[in-house]
Structure 1
Amino acid sequence: ELTGLVPFLYTSVTSQQDFARTADAIKASYPGAQIYSLDVKSADGEKVRDFYDISPDQLPAALIVRNDDQLAASYSSTAIPSAEQLAYELKSIG
């Protein structure tokens, strides 16, 4: 079972703003989703990055995490799908 948790790891103000728009769009399509934007330089961002072994060249990143902390999906850099695609994936696997 999935919680619908999507941590976004951002590296700049631009990626933070992009993720904020994406998060809003996901929440509109899938209101139960739990979405977090984390600065990779923050303590929480570093913990998530280290736990899932995300390397600097994979940033920014979007992760879909199961309630047992296992990754259901991860996307990095320019391969991050649209909000609609992420919401669809959350619905289909959650």
Structure 2
Amino acid sequence: MRRPGILSFGLKAGGREGGARFLDALQLFTRLVNIGEAKSLATHPASTTHRQLNADELKAAGVSEDMVRLSIGIEHIDDLIEDLDRALAAA
């Protein structure tokens, strides 16, 4: 059984707005706050699970405003890379 990989990274520019643009541009990844399924998922913690926190509270929680979190599923790698490239360009 293949288990999904999870990664988090910050976008170079844009903060909360850049994270939201990144998620809006994804076409293959499903936008959900839960992670670890067979399909690829994406979330922007600063505007979803941690949206009630201010900048200092986000920092204390280890969440930056530009952080996105991906759970990589079983889709074809070329399709995932294409989707991520498109979303990164939009962010």
More helix by share: 1
TM normalised by structure 2 equals: 0.33
Mark the structure with the bigger radius of gyration. 2
More strand by share: 1
